[in-house]
Amino acid sequence: MERLNSGVGSSSIRRRSLSISSHVSHRTENDDDAESESVSEAGDIGDRALPSRRFSATNSFRFSFDETKSDENGGTAADVEQLQPPRASSAIRPLPPQLVASPLSTTDAVLPSEEPKKETRKGLPEFLDYASCMIHMAVFGILGVLTRYLLQKLFGPGEANLTSNKTVLYLDLPANMIGSFLMGWFGVVFKADISQVSEHLAIAITTGYLGSLTTFSGWNQKMLQLSVSGHWLFAILGFLFGLFLVGYSIIVGIETAKGFKWLLNKLNMCSGSGDNSEINCRVDSPQRQLAAMTMFLVILGILWGVSGALVKAKFKNGGSGAELWFACMVGPVGVWIRWFLARLNGRGLGRAGLFKWMPFGTLIANVSAACVMAALSTVKEAVITKDCDTIVIGTQLGLLGCLSTVSTFAAEFNAMRESNHPWRAYVYAIITMCASFVLGILIYCVPVWATGYDTST
């Protein structure tokens, strides 16, 4: 009998230890999945960030989560019950239901209704929510194109002479560094504060302005132009040096933004300003959101109207002016495509969600923009006309420059580097750069070598 009791006791201990180990492993896997999803969504999540989309997703999944209640440590009630040791049967029996029932239990005035109440969201309908966000992004996307062009001219051969098409310091390097630095400010540290004022404004600054200020396709194309001329070492160093500068730009941006935020908090504590003195500037009501959408729609109409008029006036003569204003006209299209692709970030592959840590939306946007830019560069080498140069360069500067992004790439790279799996950041960077560069060689370099086009001009 003692041997039997000892065998039963040891088997129960083994079962409890197995259940504990399985529970711990299950929690570890869940934590890893959550981290993988968070690093992939560090830069952008597309239209999933819209208030209307988040509200509908929350209402559709709330009740399924409530059915399986979890404890404060993350385990479900069933897991907690398995972890608890078997309890001896109690001699106390529950009272009959006739004695427990209250005469007030049949009234509906005391007990709450079992049907859950639906939350009401204050804001624009889903269609207007989409339209308002796209209008915001279009305006800031055009501003990003203009800023990138000005930085090219400022640091290029005409003025500061720090960047050029023939060195590792490519023309878009200052824009990529400044955009990554600002991404640390407005895309990481202060993004939540900006979202408190207007979520559309936060998306417009990060996805619209900073995503258009920086460009990966232009970076890749400059390295292809170096390699087609035989400067392979410069091309490789351009990728490595560019990644190093961009990576440290966002780190410096995050650290300086945190210091500035700490200083603001200290100043607010010293001034002792109360909530009554604060001005409510939040765009949180349908009326304010509609007013903001109307204002940005007017600004977008002015920008597009001016750009179209200048393109019409300068198109025949060609030149950088016609290319710039044509880029402003087509730039918002690239922003919108990248924004819709960003919904793939954090989703993984297939129903199982494999490789959730890989931001496939940003990856597809950068690689596809680099391939199309390489193809247009090949067309430009074959068709030597002013009209072709204006359309090709304007599309590369505007649509493809806005479709690809370095600021979002830098935010994702930095989040992966600071996670529990820092190697993922370098794998992500290698896949993005190698895929774009190899495909660019096949699309641009091979035809140029085969036909003997003169790329010196």
Q: How is the chain split into domains, by residue range?
A: 126-267+286-451
Interval 10-15 mean pLDDT: 53
Does residue 113 carry a pLDDT above 80? Answer: no
Determine the pLDDT at residue 268: 85
- For residue 414, which of 126, 204, 184 has the smallest C-alpha distance? 184
411, 188 Cβ separation under 8 angstroms: yes
The rounded mean pLDDT for the chain is 82
- Alpha-carbon distance of 24 to 313, in angstroms, equals 68
Comparison of pLDDT for 454 and 254, the residue scoring more: 254
Place of tokens 């132009």: 225
Other beta carbons within 10 Å of 148: 27
User: What pLDDT band is residue 65 in, cutting at 50, 70 and 90?
Assistant: very low
Task: Please state the φ and ψ torsions of residue 76, each to the nearest 5 degrees.
Answer: -80, 170
210, 182 Cβ separation under 8 angstroms: yes
Determine the pLDDT at residue 75: 46
- For residue 370, which of 435, 314, 294 has the smallest C-alpha distance? 435
- Alpha-carbon distance of 428 to 377, in angstroms, equals 26
Determine the pLDDT at residue 285: 86
Buried/exposed code over 217-255 (b: 16+ C-beta within 10 A; e: otherwise): bbbbbbbbbbbbbebeebbbebbeebbeebbebbbebbe
Determine the pLDDT at residue 371: 97
User: What pLDDT band is residue 90 in, cutting at 50, 70 and 90?
Assistant: very low
Does residue 431 carry a pLDDT above 90? Answer: yes
Does residue 23 carry a pLDDT above 90? Answer: no
DSSP string, 91-148: S--PPPHHHH--GGGG-TTTSPPSSPPPP---S--HHHHHHHHHHHHHHHHHHHHHHH
Interval 353-371 mean pLDDT: 95
Categorise residue 68: left if φ over 0, alpha if ψ from -120 to 50, beta otherwise.
beta
Other beta carbons within 10 Å of 292: 18
